[in-house]
Each structure stands twice: as structure tokens, then as C-alpha cells.
């Protein structure tokens, strides 16, 4: 069973931040050691000037501790959350992933468990491709990527590679919303392995 969990997210408009925070609060209930880390986005201040929604979340996001690869050394389970940008991870998340390169030859992250989530505009937006990009990264690092179990997928439009939240349907972020219920169910499963 995982003793230490790290949740690493990138977010500009708040969706991935809210999901990361929900995972953090769920893991806290299970009395496991958990840390929430934000991927640095050098453009966040500028984007907050352009987008009202980014300005709304900016200060809260910046209060979260910045992610550094070395802060993940002692994690048993790492959860990555990235916005889907053009059917891939965001540039900031990719830059963070590339910082793992010194650890690839030494297998520093080999055998750790990993789970992914993303948010994207809609079901045709390539959220599954973004999850796939994170999964492939994890496999390069030798991590064991955890899929969404089939029984949680039944009747839902989630890809197996991880959790997707479709932006715009805010009801899914309410306490009984589909995304929130999926986070709760997935946290319980992740606690078992
Ligand atoms: C540069 C850029 C590229 C995007 N590309 C896609 C895309 O390919 N598919 C999609 O469904 N949404 C796309 N979106 C919408 C984002 O995925 C969505 O707004 C994001 O999940 C918000 O995450 P955040 O609120 O955590 O920043 C894009 C947004 C931006 C700014």
C-alpha cells in the first residue's frame, strides 16, 4: 500500500487545480502522507491578465508549493494532472517531465506507481491523447501506470488511461458530480494497491 502520495498538476484556468485539490483532500481522509505540488508556469501572470478565469485562480494556485523532481524521490504513488493542449500535455507539464531526464538512466523512478488526469474542452478534444502522453512518459521512467478499473468505466465516457474532466460542465465538479464521484472512487482504489 502507498505510504506517500504526490499530486503534481499544471493549471491556468483552475480546472486541474480543483481536481488536484480534490484528490489531495480525498487522500487526506485516508490518513496517508500526501503532498500537492504545482508545476511552474512562467506565463501564468501574463495569462491571468488575458483571461478572467485564470485571474480568479492565480493567487490560490501560486500559494501551492512548486513541483521539483527531487520532491518526488520518496513517493510511492505520483499523480500527474495536465490540461489537454492540442491533444497533448501542456508545454509547462512537458518541460517538467523533461526535467526527469537525469534520472532515466539510473532508474530512479522505476517501480513507483503513477496515475494521470486531465481536463479538456470536450469528448472529442483529445483528452485521451494527453493521458496517453503522460502514460508513455511514466513507462519511460519505469513507473507502473495505473488504469481506471473497468467497473468504474462502465457506462461512463472515461478513457482507461486515466481520469478526464470535460470543462464547461461545472455540475461535474459539484459534490455529487460525475468527476468528483470518480475522484473519490479512484482514490479508494489507489489506496488498495
Ligand atoms: C493552448 C491551448 C490548447 C488547447 N487544446 C485543447 C485540445 O486540444 N483539446 C481540448 O479539448 N481542449 C483544449 N484546450 C482547452 C483546455 O484543455 C482546457 O481549457 C483545460 O483543460 C483547462 O485546464 P486548466 O483550467 O487547469 O488550465 C486548449 C487550451 C489551450 C489554452
For residue 168, pLDDT over 80 is answered with no
Collapse the DSSP code of 132 into the 3-class scheme (helix H, G, I; strand E, B; otherwise coil) and give the result.
helix
Position in ligand 1 atom list of the atom nearest CA 53: 25
Rounded CA gap, 80 and 123, in Å? Answer: 20
Rounded CA gap, 43 and 160, in Å? Answer: 31
Domain tally for the chain?
A: 1
pLDDT value for 155 = 67
pLDDT value for 107 = 94
Q: How many CB atoms lie within 10 A of CB 28?
A: 14
pLDDT in tens, 4-48: 999 999 999 999 999 999 999 999 999 899 999 999 999 999 999
Strands 163-166 and 144-145: unpaired
Element (H, E) at 120: strand 113-120
DSSP code, position 142? T
pLDDT value for 150 = 84
> Is the separation of the CB atoms in 182 and 152 below 8 Å?
yes
For residue 169, pLDDT over 90 is answered with no
Rounded to the nearest whole angstrom, what is the distance from the C-alpha of residue 60 to the centroid of ligand 1?
Answer: 20
**What residues make up the domain containing 36?**
4-192
What pTM was computed for the model? 0.96
Collapse the DSSP code of 9 into the 3-class scheme (helix H, G, I; strand E, B; otherwise coil) and give the result.
strand
- Ligand 1 contact, 88 CB (< 6 A): no
- Ligand 1 contact, 2 CB (< 6 A): no
pLDDT in tens, 81-140: 999 999 999 999 999 999 999 999 999 999 999 999 999 998 889 999 999 999 999 999
Output the residue whose Cα is nearest ligand 1's atom 9: 125
pLDDT band for 177, please (50, 70, 90 cuts).
confident
Rounded to the nearest whole angstrom, what is the distance from the C-alpha of residue 129 to the centroid of ligand 1?
Answer: 12
pLDDT value for 157 = 66
Element (H, E) at 28: helix 15-29
- Ligand 1 contact, 170 CB (< 6 A): no
pLDDT value for 158 = 74
pLDDT in tens, 47-65: 999 999 999 999 999 999 9
Rounded to the nearest whole angstrom, what is the distance from the C-alpha of residue 193 to the centroid of ligand 1?
Answer: 31
Which residues lie closer than 8 Å to 63 by C-beta, 6 or more apart? Answer: none
What CATH number does the domain containing 62 carry?
3.40.50.360
- Ligand 1 contact, 159 CB (< 6 A): no
Amino acid at each position: 500500500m502507498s505510504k506517500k502520495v504526490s499530486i503534481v498538476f499544471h493549471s491556468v484556468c483552475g480546472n486541474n487545480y480543483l481536481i488536484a485539490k480534490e484528490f489531495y483532500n480525498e487522500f487526506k481522509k485516508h490518513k496517508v502522507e500526501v503532498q500537492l505540488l504545482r508545476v511552474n508556469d512562467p506565463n501564468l501572470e501574463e495569462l491571468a491578465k488575458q483571461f478572467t478565469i485564470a485571474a480568479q485562480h492565480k493567487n490560490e494556485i501560486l500559494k501551492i508549493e512548486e513541483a521539483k523532481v527531487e520532491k518526488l524521490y520518496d513517493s510511492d504513488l505520483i499523480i500527474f494532472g495536465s490540461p489537454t493542449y492540442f491533444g497533448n500535455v501542456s508545454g509547462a507539464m512537458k518541460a517538467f517531465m523533461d526535467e526527469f531526464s537525469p534520472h532515466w538512466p539510473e532508474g530512479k523512478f522505476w517501480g513507483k506507481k503513477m496515475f494521470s488526469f486531465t481536463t479538456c474542452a470536450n469528448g472529442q478534444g483529445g483528452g485521451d491523447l494527453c493521458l496517453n502522453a503522460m502514460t508513455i512518459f511514466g513507462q519511460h521512467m519505469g513507473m507502473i501506470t495505473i488504469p481506471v478499473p473497468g467497473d468504474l468505466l462502465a457506462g461512463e465516457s472515461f478513457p482507461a488511461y486515466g481520469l478526464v474532466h470535460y470543462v464547461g460542465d461545472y455540475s461535474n465538479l459539484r459534490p455529487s458530480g460525475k468527476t468528483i464521484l470518480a475522484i473519490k472512487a479512484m482514490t479508494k482504489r489507489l489506496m488498495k494497491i
